[in-house]
Structure 1
């Protein structure tokens, strides 16, 4: 079998749930002399538009039955799609059994994914699992040497254009591309069904696991220019970079998307009802996070944590970007700003910075929402729940002689939210609702502690302050201190209270060191490694 020939389209079978652009497309086919076959609601829509259409039940000699579960599963449909037109035996079989070829299949599937997303009950979801549609798609795609298959309204115009270029036929290269899209669609559909069934059965680790996505953007390159890359969305509609509207600026890069996601997920930890918050990210790590009485104050306080690293960073806000905050952001070079919304004044301010990307999402992601995260390793991939762990003040255990003051406790809770989003080993100093030193991604927790303190000292000098801003701060550690040295380094830097998971074999030594230094310390019982 070869697929080198241009195949004229004389007969098309159309059966779609998504009727976007259907009538115009079908009319265009009819105007090109294509006979239309259809089923159920699609046939009804075509007839109401004044188009001549033949029912599949008339073709097969069998009515639709079992509430539409059985309508296209018939040799006169699948034989028409699968027959090799250049194989004499296949042609003879078609003639013997009165099977007329179908040259174009236009199918999209029952809306299973959106049915599940709507919160429908189990039986309703099951009824929205398509059987005939995927079977036809796969048959037509397998026989792409002779049959064109369209599974997405986005390809209607391209199909008509290809026909016009080839005298009413389709070319092999285009059919091959359509076949790939068909198999990708059925694979994504089956992945959605299998993952839903696994969740419904309470099976977190099924024997086989599949993930799928739809390409949102072909990227110029990946992390580095020699790496190819593309951006895919998973259809979950979680507010963020995948669902955002880009108002201005050049195309987002691979690193922009990764960092913007990190920034927005972090700032979403801070409920807007409790006040404005800002997070500034550089290379997927926060370099400044703060609350304020206004967004502009939150931004300036976050910026003052590490002005050097903030240059060329990503800014995420938990409220509507206003003009004053926009003007403050434009005082330095910023790659991306993401917020739930932006005022017209803010958009006008940014319009003068053509390379600055502005994204709005309409909402914040819910940091408590469940979900899966996965990462590729050689020969496979790891799957885990997304880190939606949260703590409540009532969950904390005071383990030192001195309990945190009310002010320290507020900052401890703030620092813990930030530490969750810092690459391990993570150390976060906070004072007055703003980070004042962040140590990230070090092999030693002591090094992270000292780096964060050093950055604070550097910023204090740059700001003309009399002492490092870590003096009188609190500190969060994403995992336990295995030895007292990290805690003592934090105390030496000026921290007065510490929040950490606890659970080390040497907790008693660490607690004793905290008591000796006059520190308050609380255990969360929860770790936030981030690799």
Structure 2
């Protein structure tokens, strides 16, 4: 039942609130002692629990145990310690109201102005493959209760759930206290944090239900974190499966795809990707910059060798891997990628899967480029590239990892799928026509098969020497994609290899490639007219492989 609202005139405005009393209970001890030192210097009373209190005390800072405040010792192996009115009254008392102040006095309790809590490492315990009993013990109860209580009462309490916020809190304390806007932002982050935490627990529970724990609810079977996402896609009877799309707004963008559309960037707290990249230089990123940078990043990281992808409107105008004998691998890869379509590369977005070197920077500096995203830049490269005031430089987080799933909104909901990173090696392909390819040709075919994944369907990609030489993308029939790829390749089509993201429904698309001088083709196969296509390849003496997998990209 909802609580009746109080007369607004009863509330006293509170903006900046000095921190006099803090409650700290953290699993992640990063930065704990620095925070404790700052609180101690400011004369803040610290109340803490278990190992957190022990570490603060060992460092020589005064701290009160929660059990001293509650008059109740920890019970049930630590399952019950902060679930007590002496704690939660201090978290939930709305000190803008005189009657709440009076009730605290009558109860003999005191409020908290700062609460620092991060939760039991549930996801880490799952990821370590621990038994179910250990995982259940790492489902935090008291922590989320304190976080949510404090976040609800952000008019009076600052709630911190991440060590990354400690410097802001220390600065606020030194400047007289936290502000309402700061507390509101921290509360938002706190609710997102607990929502993500509960989502992880719920999905793990659903996965256990699906896989059947056995006779005991505490069966000690190991749990493989790699299987955690499976529950999203498995038809579990009578189960409600959730997928969390929450994130923290990082910035409001000038506009969206077009100037009349509003846009903002949100960052997922549990991921590391383009949204978490550090901008080292250049004017602010646009919506389209982010979209293209992410497409370029995905294309470059499809390859294990040093690789560069150049993207325009989410389509590659060049992808290449470095030759094995290249003195400067990433610079060589960029030159090959750029050579594919220099006209379209003008104003493009570049991604590299290795550190950008001075040699690559010298080449890029001569070409108008919107964005470069990479895991790093040498000091020499930065010195060159930062001379271009409009060039945006993005450095990926050190722990950058590609997402295992992809989400796309549709009206009324959204779709979720596994990310497409399945690339069968040539050893698993079926030779459908012609003679087995020589090793260097097979290497180009494998490159082309990976590279065509980044091309919007229908996709045809021609390659030679580990680089694209012609790309046909986004056409509504495969014949036009083949013609476009051949047209862009020009004379380079002769002697190249080709990859098609899906099967040729007729022989006409393949015939366009044959007529241009393509010597080998890789495609999924599986058309009802495969025999017609195979016959065309055999008649032309063209080698053709079937992969049995496709790479549609819409």
TM range (shorter): 0.7 to 0.9
RMSD: 3.4
Aligned with 1:314 (options 327, 339, 349): 349
Change (3 A) 1:342 1:455: same
Aligned to 1:464: none
Measure the CA separation in 2 of the matches of 1:527 and 1:76.
61
The alpha carbon displacement at 1:386 in A equals 1.0
Aligned to 2:478: 445
| Deviation sequence 1:42-98 (CA, Å, 0-9, x none) | 323333444433221112221123332221012222233234557788677656654
Aligned to 2:519: 496
Measure the CA separation in 1 of the matches of 2:390 and 2:229.
48
Aligned to 1:134: 144
Tell whether 2:72 aligns with 1:39. Answer: no
Change (3 A) 1:161 1:243: closer
* Partner-residue secondary structure (3-state), 2:531: helix
Change (3 A) 1:17 1:263: same
Q: TM-score under structure 1 normalisation?
A: 0.84
Aligned to 1:460: none
Measure the CA separation in 1 of the matches of 2:399 and 2:525.
31
Aligned to 2:213: none
**Stretches of structure 1 lacking an aligned partner (at least 5 in a row):** 458-467
Aligned with 1:473 (options 485, 496, 519): 496
CA contact (8 A) 1:265 1:365 kept: no
Aligned with 1:281 (options 299, 302, 311): 311
Measure the CA separation in 2 of the matches of 1:317 and 1:27.
42
The alpha carbon displacement at 1:528 in A equals 0.7
CA contact (8 A) 2:42 2:174 kept: no
Aligned to 1:17: 27
Aligned to 1:355: 390
CA contact (8 A) 1:341 1:362 kept: no
* Partner-residue secondary structure (3-state), 1:482: coil
- Shifted more, 288-297 versus 425-434: the winner is 288-297
CA contact (8 A) 1:312 1:335 kept: yes
| Deviation sequence 1:361-397 (CA, Å, 0-9, x none) | 588978xx88111112122111111112111222211
Aligned to 1:75: 85
Aligned to 2:73: 63
Measure the CA separation in 1 of the matches of 2:383 and 2:112.
54
* Partner-residue secondary structure (3-state), 1:399: strand
Change (3 A) 1:331 1:116: farther
Change (3 A) 1:200 1:25: closer
Aligned to 1:400: 433
* Partner-residue secondary structure (3-state), 2:514: helix
Aligned to 1:461: none
- Shifted more, 64-73 versus 19-28: the winner is 19-28
Aligned to 1:269: 302
Measure the CA separation in 2 of the matches of 1:364 and 1:126.
27
Report matched runs for 1:72-471 at 5 Å. 72-84=82-94, 97-116=107-126, 123-156=133-166, 172-197=180-205, 198=207, 199-200=227-228, 202-205=230-233, 207-214=241-248, 219-225=253-259, 226-237=261-272, 241=274, 244=277, 246-272=279-305, 276-291=306-321, 292=323, 293-294=325-326, 295=329, 296-361=331-396, 371-457=404-490, 468-471=491-494
Change (3 A) 1:87 1:335: closer
The alpha carbon displacement at 1:105 in A equals 2.5
| Deviation sequence 1:269-305 (CA, Å, 0-9, x none) | 3333xxx543222222111122334234332222121
Measure the CA separation in 1 of the matches of 2:73 and 2:183.
31
| Deviation sequence 1:109-160 (CA, Å, 0-9, x none) | 2333455556666555444332211111112222334444333345456556
Measure the CA separation in 1 of the matches of 2:399 and 2:153.
45
Measure the CA separation in 2 of the matches of 1:315 and 1:131.
46
Measure the CA separation in 1 of the matches of 2:384 and 2:530.
52
CA contact (8 A) 1:191 1:212 kept: no
| Deviation sequence 1:403-453 (CA, Å, 0-9, x none) | 545444332222111111111111111123321110111222222111122
**Stretches of structure 2 lacking an aligned partner (at least 5 in a row):** 1-5, 208-226, 234-239
CA contact (8 A) 1:268 1:365 kept: no
Aligned to 1:462: none
* Partner-residue secondary structure (3-state), 2:492: coil
Measure the CA separation in 1 of the matches of 2:123 and 2:318.
38
Change (3 A) 1:402 1:355: same
The alpha carbon displacement at 1:177 in A equals 3.3
Aligned to 2:528: 505
* Partner-residue secondary structure (3-state), 1:469: helix
Change (3 A) 1:149 1:345: closer
Aligned to 2:218: none
CA contact (8 A) 1:104 1:147 kept: yes
Change (3 A) 1:393 1:176: closer
